[in-house]
Amino acid sequence: MPKQNRSEQLDLLVDALIARPKTAPGKREPKASPKLQALARIAAELLDLPRQDFKDRLKSDLGRRTSMASKPVMKAETRQTATAYLTVRDAAAAIEFYKKAFGATEVMRLVGPGTKIGHAEIRIGNSKIYLSDEFPDFGSVAPQRPGGSPVKMDIVVDDVDALTARAIAAGAKEVRAIQDQFYGMRTGQVADPFGYVWNVSTVLEELTGEEMQKRYDDLVKQGAFTQPQQKPDEKRAPRAVRPIPEGFHTLTPYLAVNGAARLIDFLKEGFGAVEKFRVNRPGSELVMHAEMRMGDSVLELADASDEFGARLLGNILHVHDVDAVYKRALEAGATSRFAPIEQSYGDLEAAVKDPAGNYWNITEIRKTDHRTDDTRTILPYLNLAGAAEFVEFTKRAFGAKEVSMFQAPDGKVIHARLRIGDSILALGEAHGESALILGALHMYVPNVEDVYAAAVREGIKVLRPLRDEPYGDRAAVLQDAFGNWWFPSTHIKDVQF
């Protein structure tokens, strides 16, 4: 019997099996040879075959639970006796803020009624803090009133300056500048957006109560607490610089191209980018550094140099009208990789190469779960050899968190999204049509020393060690084992050009 016929016959049997529940009783089924019957028996058993997407989804659900469960939950014997309980308006936002500002980790939350948080527990260092949304009917009211909360929070850390900078970068306001205090600590005070004031300190010297009282008495004698501390002619301390410059997020793609000026024109015409800053190399038409604003994101670029040869980057560009942007990009000189189509995951997507050859996926998000609070106009993506290892590396080196992860059965990463600081990075395994696309990422952090140290500990290659740059950043140039460039930076002083 020819094979073609057998496969046709087998499919008739399979069809009958699949349709079985709907088959009218008494309907004649096809007869088959013993061999085909044996195969059809296996087919019958396969009707129970689990769906791969179900298996993956359940795994990631369980993974989410275990990652929460594995956070240090206090055992009874180490549970702290007294704990602050903060009532805030928008507890979910407050938890996010405390994560960003003070490096808090979420221990648990109870949601409801509605989206309100009835109770949540976060951990800062070795301390737990409880918080909840407002429940005025039960006497829980947030401190949004004149004067704010009479209760202050107090944090003692190894580096008060770094934590204060981090908190201010996350949206806290300075209340009192950091100063060395008589009680042996260096202390500053910030107010969070939810109405609480936090003292932040580092211990300078361990003092006894007696020693402290003596110093305190001296200060009282000097009238330190009866007169305004600031004399009228004393100049106010200069406003602290933002460690992450205005408009920047944690990750900013940095394009090194041949023909930066042409690319700037394209970005303006094709994508409606706004040029914020450009400086040419001395005595040259070549661009040394330029910054373009696109929606809520910044893109940096420069002409390729000896140190940084041209490198093609990949970015996802989130737009509201993919057809219009695609058309405009082509008119401005982009080449099409594919015209707008509806992808299987529900989004409308087109792809182009800009005149310098960089990859742009122009995406109109249709499915709301693809849009999160940190979905920005530009989302850098990488196609790497060893994407799964890269994910683990970024977790260790940069504290990246997995936002989503789709893996092939062999473990290869099809598409993953990572959160680093307040930015998302997309990536997948390079294969076939998706060639290697390496990254060049400017990474603004409040504490570049720590980030640099952690990355070096993870064996990253240092192309340029950490140093103060003339443009006011403390920055380094690193290359990971996958070939990506990282430029971790903290802005330390404002420089006028």
Partner 1 sequence: MKAPAQDAGERGLVEAAQKDPTRFAELYENNFARVYAYVSRRVNNREEAQDLTAEVFHQALANLGRFEWRGVPFAAWLVRIAANAIADRWKLVAREHGNPISGELSSKEISPEEIHHHARLFRLVDTLPAEQRRVIEMRFAQEKSISEIAKEIGRTEGAVKQLQFRGLESLRSQLHVSSRKSTARKSAGRMGRLNA
Measured distance between the N- and C-terminal CA atoms of the chain, rounded to whole angstroms = 83
Under the binding rule (CB under 8 A), the answer on residue 285 touching partner 1 is no
Distance CA 326, CA 471 (A): 36
Under the binding rule (CB under 8 A), the answer on residue 38 touching partner 1 is yes
Coil, helix or strand for 402?
A: strand
Phi-psi region of 357 (alpha: psi -120 to 50; beta: other; left: phi over 0): left
Residues between 122 and 141 with contacts to partner 1, criterion CB under 8 A? none
**Element spanning 180, H or E:** strand 173-180
Coil, helix or strand for 150?
A: coil
Coil, helix or strand for 123?
A: strand
- List, in order, residues 6 or more apart from 303 with CB less than 8 Å away: 256, 257, 258, 259, 260, 281, 286, 287, 288
Q: How far is the CB of 20 from partner 1 (least distance, A)?
A: 7
Task: Answer whether the bond into residue 446 is a cis peptide, omega within 30°.
Answer: no
Under the binding rule (CB under 8 A), the answer on residue 341 touching partner 1 is no
The window from 57-65, 239-247, 292-300, 468-476 that contacts partner 1 (CB under 8 A) reads 57-65
Under the binding rule (CB under 8 A), the answer on residue 78 touching partner 1 is no
Under the binding rule (CB under 8 A), the answer on residue 61 touching partner 1 is yes
CB-based contact 273:299 (threshold 8 Å): yes
Q: Among residues 50 and 283, whose Cβ is nearest to partner 1? A: 50
Q: Among residues 313 and 416, whose Cβ is nearest to partner 1? A: 416
Coil, helix or strand for 324?
A: helix
Q: How far is the CB of 44 from partner 1 (least distance, A)?
A: 4
Q: How far is the CB of 71 from partner 1 (least distance, A)?
A: 10
The window from 10-18, 138-146, 230-238, 469-477 that contacts partner 1 (CB under 8 A) reads 10-18
Under the binding rule (CB under 8 A), the answer on residue 3 touching partner 1 is yes
**Element spanning 72, H or E:** none
Under the binding rule (CB under 8 A), the answer on residue 58 touching partner 1 is yes
282: tokens are: 């001395």
- Backbone dihedral angles phi then psi of residue 78, each to the nearest 5 degrees: -110, 5
Return the residue of 33, 62, 371, 396 that touches partner 1, per CB under 8 A: 62
Site size for partner 1 (CB under 8 A): 47
Return the residue of 45, 210, 285, 307 that touches partner 1, per CB under 8 A: 45
Under the binding rule (CB under 8 A), the answer on residue 107 touching partner 1 is no
Binding footprint of partner 1 on the chain (CB under 8 A): 3-4, 6-8, 10-11, 13-14, 16-18, 20, 23, 29-32, 37-52, 54-55, 58-59, 61-63, 65-67, 69-70, 409
